[in-house]
Amino acid sequence: MQRFRAVRTLQKFAAAHASIHNHFNHDRHLNRRDIFKQNRSAAMAEWRQLAA
């Protein structure tokens, strides 16, 4: 909370960060490398569609 002046700003940032983190976090240690890379590529393609 050091760089946030208000708790509300921190909450907004945390909510946005959590949704983005959950979109890209695929638990690498649970999947084989090739499956992880496929999931990561799919997530990145979806992110590019959403951001465009």
Predicted TM-score of the model (pTM):
0.51
Tell whether the model's pLDDT for residue 1 goes beyond 60. Answer: no
Contacts of 4 (CB under 8 A, 6+ apart): 10, 13
CA-based radius of gyration for the chain? 15
Band of pLDDT at residue 36, cut at 50, 70 and 90: confident
The residues spanned by each domain of the chain are: 7-51
